[in-house]
């Protein structure tokens, strides 16, 4: 959440900061700002409510510099406004700070130390920059020491990545992080800082990861990392292969559509990375051994990734016969279940940075249990902190609503479950030709994404003006209904519920009235008849029913027909029309589908 960028040693600082922020806009987009220093006595602080384009308009031709910091905000403390936008500046005008995260004890710090300071914003961040200025002045501390002192006062519950500038040392960026992502990008004669490598891929592909608690001093020719005791740490950069063009929209009007269309490619890429030519799955034996030893799997995730976990339960139980529980990370954190004797934890996370999931992983590590993170982001925090990682190789997902990461996670769960089940001698797994099945899925996905006009039409007829909507299904179709509902509500703001179709009549059916859209997912042979009879119940009460049905179960009048695939993989196809319905409904209602209100891509606060 919130995007952070910084640069030192490059005369194009303004452009580099703004372009970087534009690429990070998906992490928060309610206000933005930059501070730049020209090193010849000139400095500029420009902030604006709204998007990066709004900020660009505020930046006059005179604004220039060779070092600077920038921020795009997802509000936590204080409404979205110019005053609350970052960078925040100390009352004496010396220090400038951008921050991602939340300072748990900001109110106490303010009361204890800053009663006499006049604040310009309602943010927790401003407390930090005012404190740095206070300690620098009153205790005559050097900037690094004042910064360290303030960090030592921030309580355990806090999360932060800080990027600080002192206009008395305008070439230097002071950096620190705790539970929030931040990377140093190494350039030729200049260096950059960013909360996500994609912000700076046009400047460098070499990044240094930071560890919580370190202080980093970045200058044009040097990066000095110090551990909390002040020891200098030597850490080599890692290389990010992603091409800068992969984070561009190309000919697409929106990232969400591009990413929906990329799903067949994601399936093929997973086959390429995890399945050898002879059809055998290639996954590290130590990971497989750890999972095989477990008596129960605990999948922990949030949002769409949690929904991918629900399908994962079907896959792991169906193919490996290992009991599997799926937990919402934010609930598990404070209300963990009774664990089995030999648990194994699977974290599903597109970004690898979700604070709720990180909190559970930290607890799992304290307990001493092994874990796997399935993520799209190499070197992300959850990837580094888990025992094992499997990557999705889906390419960057920029649209805030997750699409290809969801299907990628399910496909990778299928590959993993196949391998474990096969090694355990489970017949459902040995007969499951995962490469063949996922190839059939990829072809089926292609068929669906090639038929966009029908979804646009259904959205216009059924969803464009409705107040609310339901997705219903049973068993694995219920898993999809929940994800389909999340997709529709988050980008179109139509209040939508994903419901177990049999449960509808136990109360919720009271909400069905003339014209209420009810979209039924029907891919299970055992449950099809029952879901159809639930659609009859809502039809009788005036609902506008749309059926999304597997070809082998289709009947006259069904509106969307899905190509047939293996019964455990039907979510991979059933979700595609739902993603497209969400996409078109959002556009028809006049919204920015890539950046829905109130949301941000990587949710790094609790």
Subset of residues 341 to 360 that bind ligand F6R, contact rule: CB under 6 A? 349-351, 354, 357
Give the total of residues touching ligand F6R (CB under 6 A): 15
Q: What angle is formed at CA 497 by the lines to CA 494 and CA 500, rounded to 5 degrees? A: 160
Tell me the per-residue interface mask from 390 to 419 with ligand F6R, x by CB under 6 A, - otherwise: -----------xx-----------------
Residue 302 in contact with ligand F6R, rule: CB under 6 A: yes
By CB under 6 A, name the one of 264, 303, 312, 318 that touches ligand F6R: 303
Assess contact for 7 and 192: CB atoms under 8 A: yes
Stretch in the footprint of ligand F6R (CB under 6 A) among 55-63, 111-119, 303-311, 388-396: 303-311
Contact between 13 and 173 under an 8 Å Cβ cutoff? The reply is no
Per the CB < 8 A criterion, the answer to whether 372 and 364 are in contact is no
| Unique residue bearing structure tokens 């339901």 | 470
* Residue 230 CB neighbour total at 10 angstroms: 9
Q: Which is nearer to ligand F6R, 422 or 490 (CB)?
A: 490
Q: Which stretch binds ligand F6R (CB under 6 A): 130-138, 263-271, 299-307, 570-578?
A: 299-307
**Cis amide bond preceding 308, omega within 30:** no
H runs (alpha helix) in 294-370: 303-320, 329-334, 355-367
Comparing every residue's Cβ against ligand F6R, the nearest one is 303
- Active-site residue identified among 110, 177, 487, 601: 601
Q: Using CB under 6 A, pick the residue from 200, 225, 394, 603 that binds ligand F6R.
A: 603
Q: Is 19 in the site for ligand F6R (CB under 6 A)?
A: no
Question: Which residue, 405 or 504, is less far from ligand F6R as judged by CB?
Answer: 405
Asked if 371 touches ligand F6R (CB under 6 A), the answer is no
Question: 537-563 burial, b for 16+ CB within 10 Å, e for fewer?
Answer: ebeeeebbbbbbbbeebbeeebbbbbb
* Beta-bridge partner residues of 472: 499, 520
Tokens of 556: 């006259």
2 part of the active site: yes
Nearer to ligand F6R, 10 or 402 (CB): 402
Compute the least distance from the CB of residue 333 to ligand F6R, in Å.
Answer: 13
Q: What are the structure tokens assigned to 339, written together?
A: 């664990």
Contacts (Cβ under 8 Å, ≥6 apart) of 469: 462, 463, 485, 488, 494, 495, 496, 516, 517, 518, 519
**One residue of 304, 371, 482, 544 binding ligand F6R per CB under 6 A:** 304
- Angle formed at CA 114 by CA 112 and CA 118, multiple of 5 degrees: 150
Q: Which is nearer to ligand F6R, 459 or 522 (CB)?
A: 459
Does 578 participate in catalysis according to the annotation? no
527: contact with ligand F6R by CB under 6 A: no
* The only residue of 305, 373, 544, 559 in contact with ligand F6R, by rule CB under 6 A: 305
SS3 (DSSP) at 156: coil
The residues of the shown chain that bind ligand F6R, judged by CB under 6 A, are 302-305, 349-351, 354, 357, 401-402, 486, 490, 602-603
- Please identify every residue annotated as catalytic: 2, 601
């Amino acid at each position: 959440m919130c995007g952070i960028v910084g640069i030192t040693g490059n005369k194009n600082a303004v452009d580099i900061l703004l372009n970087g922020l534009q690429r990070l806009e998906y992490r928060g987009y309610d206000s933005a700002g930059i501070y730049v220093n020209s090193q010849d006595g000139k400095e500029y602080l420009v902030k604006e409510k709204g998007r990066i384009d709004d900020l660009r308009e505020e930046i006059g031709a005179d604004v220039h510099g060779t070092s600077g910091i920038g921020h795009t905000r997802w509000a936590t403390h204080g409404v979205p406004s110019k005053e609350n936008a970052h960078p925040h500046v100390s009352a004496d005008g010396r220090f400038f700070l951008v921050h991602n995260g939340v300072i748990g004890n900001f109110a106490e710090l303010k009361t204890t130390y800053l009663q006499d300071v006049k604040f310009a914003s309602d943010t927790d961040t401003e407390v930090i920059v005012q404190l740095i200025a206070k300690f620098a002045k009153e205790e005559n501390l050097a900037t690094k020491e004042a910064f360290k002192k303030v960090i030592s006062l921030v309580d355990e519950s806090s999360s932060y990545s800080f990027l600080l500038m002192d206009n008395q040392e305008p070439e230097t960026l002071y950096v620190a992080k705790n539970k929030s992502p931040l990377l140093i990008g190494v350039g030729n004669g200049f260096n950059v800082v960013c909360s996500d490598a994609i912000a700076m891929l046009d400047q460098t592909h070499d990044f240094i990861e930071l560890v919580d608690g370190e202080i980093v001093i970045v200058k044009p020719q040097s990066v000095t990392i110090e551990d909390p005791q002040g020891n200098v740490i030597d850490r080599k950069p890692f290389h990010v292969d992603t091409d800068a063009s992969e984070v561009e929209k190309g000919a697409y009007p929106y990232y969400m559509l591009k990413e929906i269309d990329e799903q067949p490619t994601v399936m093929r890429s997973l086959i390429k990375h995890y399945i050898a030519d002879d059809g055998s799955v290639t996954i590290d034996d130590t990971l497989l051994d750890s999972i095989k030893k477990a008596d129960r799997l605990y999948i922990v995730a949030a949002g769409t990734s949690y929904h991918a976990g629900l399908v994962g339960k079907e896959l792991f139980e169906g193919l490996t016969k290992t009991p599997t529980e799926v937990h919402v990370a934010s609930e598990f954190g404070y209300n963990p279940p009774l664990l089995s004797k030999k648990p194994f934890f699977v974290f599903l996370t597109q970004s690898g940075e979700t604070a709720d999931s990180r909190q559970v992983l930290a607890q799992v590590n304290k307990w001493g249990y092994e874990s796997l993170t399935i993520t799209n982001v190499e070197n992300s925090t959850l990837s580094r902190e888990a025992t094992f990682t499997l990557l999705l190789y889906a390419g960057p997902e920029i649209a805030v609503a997750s699409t290809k990461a969801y299907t990628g996670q399910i496909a990778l769960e299928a590959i993993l479950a196949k391998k474990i089940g096969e090694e355990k001698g489970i017949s459902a797994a040995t007969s499951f030709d995962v490469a063949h099945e996922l190839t059939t899925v990829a072809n089926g996905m292609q068929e669906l994404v090639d038929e966009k006009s029908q979804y646009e039409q259904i959205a216009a007829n059924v969803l464009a003006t409705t107040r609310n909507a339901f997705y219903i299904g049973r068993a694995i179709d219920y898993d999809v209904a929940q994800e389909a509902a999340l997709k529709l509500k988050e980008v179109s703001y139509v209040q939508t519920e994903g419901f177990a179709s049999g449960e509808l009549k136990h109360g919720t059916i009271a909400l069905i009235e003339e014209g209420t859209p009810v979209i039924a997912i029907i891919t299970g042979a055992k449950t099809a008849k029952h879901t159809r009879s639930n659609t009859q119940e809502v039809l009788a009460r005036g609902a506008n029913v749309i059926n999304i049905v597997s070809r082998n179960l289709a009947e006259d009048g069904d509106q969307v027909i899905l190509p047939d695939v293996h019964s455990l993989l039907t979510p991979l196809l059933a979700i595609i029309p739902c993603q497209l319905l969400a996409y078109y409904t959002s556009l028809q209602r006049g919204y920015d589908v890539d950046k829905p209100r109130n949301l941000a891509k990587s949710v790094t606060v609790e």
